[in-house]
Amino acid sequence: MATVTDKRRQILDAAVRVFARQGFHTCRVADIADEASVAYGLVYHYFSSKDEILDTLFLQRWGMMLEAITEADRSHHSAQGKLRAIAGFIVDSYRHNPDLMKVIIVEVTRAANTFGRTHLARIREAYAQIAAIVARAQAEGVFREEITPEFAALAFYGLIEQILSGWIFDPDPVRDDELERAKDMIVLTICRGLEA
Amino acid sequence: MATVTDKRRQILDAAVRVFARQGFHTCRVADIADEASVAYGLVYHYFSSKDEILDTLFLQRWGMMLEAITEADRSHHSAQGKLRAIAGFIVDSYRHNPDLMKVIIVEVTRAANTFGRTHLARIREAYAQIAAIVARAQAEGVFREEITPEFAALAFYGLIEQILSGWIFDPDPVRDDELERAKDMIVLTICRGLEA
Amino acid sequence: MATVTDKRRQILDAAVRVFARQGFHTCRVADIADEASVAYGLVYHYFSSKDEILDTLFLQRWGMMLEAITEADRSHHSAQGKLRAIAGFIVDSYRHNPDLMKVIIVEVTRAANTFGRTHLARIREAYAQIAAIVARAQAEGVFREEITPEFAALAFYGLIEQILSGWIFDPDPVRDDELERAKDMIVLTICRGLEA
Amino acid sequence: MATVTDKRRQILDAAVRVFARQGFHTCRVADIADEASVAYGLVYHYFSSKDEILDTLFLQRWGMMLEAITEADRSHHSAQGKLRAIAGFIVDSYRHNPDLMKVIIVEVTRAANTFGRTHLARIREAYAQIAAIVARAQAEGVFREEITPEFAALAFYGLIEQILSGWIFDPDPVRDDELERAKDMIVLTICRGLEA
DNA sequence: CATGAATGAGACTTCATTCAT
DNA sequence: TATGAATGAAGTCTCATTCAT
């Protein structure tokens, strides 16, 4: 009984590695099966299509992301503290499983013509929650009002994604202290800006 | 005499529309030929492969981008003014040809596994130039030093790309005044931050 | 269980017929699949390319040919007897599977620019073995020395191939007694010559 | 006026080189035009198709061959002398223009499925003439009768073609004295055989 | 659950030939 | 005669998905 789940998990984990390494379009279902050390056909026993594997990976991870944002929003932190919690969660996600984050970002959130469009609504939930945090901070007079909450949310998330992109492109693994510092720099940049 | 160039241009323009509409991977060379109203084979008369069409589009556009950044850097503006010029150029590029910008962003700069990797060096030239602007501003004491220039450059560019992404995903065309306001919000956000 | 081998064999046999009928260049992979009554894709399940099918056919057959020559050489026949055994083997090969022999000759051994070049080394092994037989006969004083063994080997093999070519071009199947007589005429010609 | 002929000749000569180097199927019409340093379209001004170029080359050369055989037959040589004249002509043809001979042999006389079939009748005229020489020699009691004239003709011609094939495959040019000796060995082999 | 052979639609690319200039 | 752009049919190979065992 546990076998079922094991093999399924095995396939998902293998898919992450293969998608990260070769990209979704470039890899074949056979590559996933090979990487997972399971028979070709078994992939189709657990998933109805290659797309569904990526959908599953994204939905699982993005669900955790939304929970993390909700969690952050529920906390008693300041607006800046909430953004710091979110940035921290995303960076930690990368630390914990960089391949998965690469796949989520490269193959889904930035894939405007394919999976990005499919999951658009779900992706925007995150932006909306972040925007809500910003809006409330503006109402409290903590954040400036010239910048719309929606714009701010995109800016915040886009900034983070680009930093992660830099790491993703980098052949060398990123050092832990660099990850840690990045969390602070993200928040500092988005809250206080570059100007001295 | 002008025919050669005309047809070639015709194909490139058609490719932009088709790539923007269907995505690079999803469209067939036949779609480009149809959209350009030329024979199938003519595409291969001017370009050695489907890839080369996208490469050409990217290289042309990114070259202009690098020039614009160089130009901005050479100007006598303040650091903020230079960033404003760059943001302005990118937003205007989108206004002028949103399809092309969509293709550049979605199919190249964010395609970590395919064209993004191919053109990585060229893409990073832009980041490096922006970083240089930031570094100089830091040396002058105008920008804070806690944020590394490289980080700042990624943050700035990532922020802009995400804003454009928002427009790209949007089915409705963006209004001109919104584009105009975005330029200011970009600079305000990156230079002064969200905090009041 | 035997299915794997069966289908693979089925494809090879079909390829022989199709290559013989239409020629390697003129036939399409689809023709092979049709002739074998298998799906298009299965051809590529067993062979990596159309070329590999011909390579396989050639290598299998030529291997048997080399064995036959080795066998003949090992026998206690006279030099003439050995040449007779080799000529006999080749003619019998034609009798048994004229299509295959046609393909081997027309598409490989005589295709100087394509497969002939690819398999040159392997083809020359046969010439070398025959030359060795001649050389030994010369050492024994049985064969004249004015003709180099290499020349003799080419002459012998070329003579046979041309006779087979004649049959190959012929629309009517060759009668068995004609095949049988050819064996003798080949040996008579190469050993004793035309002169009375 | 001479220009017309010049360009046409230029194209034919270039075709010989290109066909010899890459093979008829592998080369493109553009390669011929390039090699001839003429415009693409000009090839089609002088020849109605790529096939016709090869046809022309073959027909011209084979015509000379038939004349040479006729000539040899008309001479007052012995049968052996006539065969020697023919072998000499073919070897000299190779010496004079190895590329052309390579093309004739590889792309036409041995191409059972394509040009060989097209020109079969013309090719067989040569065999028939040679067979006639043999038949007459048999009638005169000079050649043995066990070997049919048709068989003898194929044997003679096949032997020669195989020797030329050896040279064709050879990366190094053949030395003149080797060519000269080959003429004698050909005749010796076919008339007297290998046996001492 | 598990296996991997079998299916066949689809896409890129090539290139002989035509044609307008 | 000369040019080379334009045409489009054809063929190889890929690979997601299905299915029999």
Instruction: Quick: pLDDT tens for C94-109.
Output: 999 999 999 999 999 9
Q: Which CATH number does the domain housing residue A149 bear?
A: 1.10.357.10
- Nucleic strand E under 7 Å from the C-beta of A40: yes
Token couple for C82: 């050995």
Mean pLDDT over A98-103 rounds to 97
Token couple for A168: 């993703």
- When pLDDT is cut at 50, 70 and 90, the band that residue D5 belongs to is confident
Cβ-nearest to D113 among C106, C158, C194: C106
What residues make up the domain containing C1?
A: 1-47
Mean pLDDT over B173-180 rounds to 96
Is the pLDDT at C57 greater than 50? The verdict is yes
The verdict on C40 and C60 lying in the same domain is no
Is there a contact between B49 and B115 (Cβ–Cβ < 8 Å)?
A: no
Report the pLDDT value the prediction gives residue A114, as an integer from 0 to 100. 92
Residues in chain C closer than 8 A to D140 (CB atoms): none
Cα dist from A24 to A21, B1, B13, B40, whole Å: 9, 44, 28, 28
Centre a 10 Å sphere on the Cβ of residue A37 and count the other Cβ atoms it contains: 10
- For chain A, counts of helices (H) and of strands (E): 10, 0
- In tens, the pLDDT along C116-135 reads 999 999 999 999 999 999 99
Q: Is C162 close to D155, i.e. CB distance below 8 A? A: yes
Instruction: Report the distance separating Cα B97 and Cα B79, nearest Å.
Output: 27
Q: Which of B29-33, B62-66, B108-112 is the least confident region?
A: B108-112
Candidates D88, D86, D77, D107; CA nearest to D168 is D107
Distance B2 CA to E21 C1' (A): 13
- When pLDDT is cut at 50, 70 and 90, the band that residue A46 belongs to is very high
Q: How far is CA B64 from the centre of its chain?
A: 9
Candidates D111, D108, D110, D99; CA nearest to D19 is D99
Q: Which of residues 119-148 of A touch strand E (CB under 7 A)?
A: none
Token couple for C182: 């050819």
The verdict on D19 and D107 lying in the same domain is no
Please count the structural domains in chain A.
Answer: 2
Phi (first) and psi of residue A94, to 5 degrees: -65, -40
Cα dist from B156 to B134, D14, D24, D91, whole Å: 10, 60, 58, 77
- Least Cα separation, residue B139 to chain A (angstroms): 11
DSSP line for chain B:
--HHHHHHHHHHHHHHHHHHHH-TTTS-HHHHHHHHTS-HHHHHHH-SSHHHHHHHHHHHHHHHHHHHHHHHHHSS--HHHHHHHHHHHHHHHHHH-HHHHHHIIIIIIT-TTTHHHHTHHHHHHHHHHHHHHHHHHHHTTSB-SSS-HHHHHHHHHHHHHHHHHHHHH-SSPPPHHHHHHHHHHHHHHHHH-SB-
Type of residue numbered A83: L
HSE-up (13 A, CA, CB side) for residue B64: 12
Instruction: Report the distance separating Cα D162 and Cα D186, nearest Å.
Output: 11
- Least Cα separation, residue B119 to chain A (angstroms): 12
Phi (first) and psi of residue D143, to 5 degrees: -110, 145
The verdict on C43 and C57 lying in the same domain is no
Distance A27 CA to F21 C1' (A): 28
Q: Is the pTM of this model over 0.85?
A: yes
- When pLDDT is cut at 50, 70 and 90, the band that residue D1 belongs to is very low
Mean pLDDT over B24-52 rounds to 96
- In tens, the pLDDT along D26-60 reads 999 999 999 999 999 999 999 999 999 999 999 99
Is there a contact between C113 and C175 (Cβ–Cβ < 8 Å)?
A: no
- In tens, the pLDDT along B40-76 reads 999 999 999 999 999 999 999 999 999 999 999 999 9
The verdict on B140 and B155 lying in the same domain is yes
State the burial class of residue B73 (Cβ atoms within 10 Å of its Cβ: 0-12, 13-18, 19+).
middle
Report the pLDDT value the prediction gives residue D3, as an integer from 0 to 100. 53
Q: Residues with Cβ < 8 Å from C164, sequence gap 6 or more?
A: C90, C91, C94, C101, C105
Strand partners, C195: D143
The verdict on B113 and B190 lying in the same domain is yes
Instruction: Report the distance separating Cα A93 and Cα D96, nearest Å.
Output: 76
Q: Residues with Cβ < 8 Å from C130, sequence gap 6 or more?
A: C69, C83, C86, C152, C153, C156, C157
Q: Which CATH number does the domain housing residue B20 bear?
A: 1.10.10.60
The secondary element (H helix, E strand) that includes residue D113 is none
The verdict on B90 and B127 lying in the same domain is yes
The verdict on D61 and D153 lying in the same domain is yes
Instruction: Report the distance separating Cα A78 and Cα C146, nearest Å.
Output: 104
Candidates C1, C114, C130; CA nearest to C58 is C114
Cα dist from C196 to C74, C147, C160, D76, D186, whole Å: 32, 20, 21, 20, 17
The verdict on C73 and C168 lying in the same domain is yes
- As a whole number of angstroms, the longest Cα–Cα distance in chain B is 60
- When pLDDT is cut at 50, 70 and 90, the band that residue A25 belongs to is very high
Candidates D95, D58, D91, D92; CA nearest to D162 is D91
Q: Is C152 close to D189, i.e. CB distance below 8 A? A: yes
Is the pLDDT at A132 greater than 90? The verdict is yes
DSSP line for C58-122:
HHHHHHHHHHHHHHHHHSS--HHHHHHHHHHHHHHHHHH-HHHHHIIIIIIIT-TTTHHHHTHHH
Is the pLDDT at D4 greater than 80? The verdict is no
- Least Cα separation, residue A137 to chain B (angstroms): 9
Token couple for B16: 């932009």
**Angle (deg, nearest 10), helices B50-74 and B3-22:** 90
Report the pLDDT value the prediction gives residue A4, as an integer from 0 to 100. 53
- When pLDDT is cut at 50, 70 and 90, the band that residue A3 belongs to is low
- When pLDDT is cut at 50, 70 and 90, the band that residue B168 belongs to is very high
Q: Which of residues 26-55 of C touch strand F (CB under 7 A)?
A: 27-30, 40-41, 44-45, 48-51
Is the pLDDT at C5 greater than 90? The verdict is no
Candidates A123, A3, A142; CA nearest to A61 is A123
The verdict on A106 and A188 lying in the same domain is yes
Instruction: Report the distance separating Cα A135 and Cα A126, nearest Å.
Output: 14
The verdict on C41 and C114 lying in the same domain is no
The verdict on C39 and C54 lying in the same domain is no
Q: Which of residues 6-65 of A touch strand F (CB under 7 A)?
A: 26-30, 40-41, 44, 48-51
**How many residue pairs from chains A and B have C-beta atoms closer than 8 A?**
171
The verdict on B113 and B168 lying in the same domain is yes
Instruction: Report the distance separating Cα A185 and Cα B145, nearest Å.
Output: 11
Is there a contact between D103 and D116 (Cβ–Cβ < 8 Å)?
A: no
DSSP line for A12-51:
HHHHHHHHHHH-TTT--HHHHHHHHTS-HHHHHHH-SSHH
Report the pLDDT value the prediction gives residue B3, as an integer from 0 to 100. 47
Nearest chain A Cα to B189, which residue?
Answer: A193
Is there a contact between D175 and D102 (Cβ–Cβ < 8 Å)?
A: no
Instruction: Report the distance separating Cα B192 and Cα B179, nearest Å.
Output: 20
Type of residue numbered B185: M
Token couple for C69: 């020559």
Instruction: Report the distance separating Cα D93 and Cα D89, nearest Å.
Output: 6
Q: Is A157 close to B162, i.e. CB distance below 8 A? A: yes
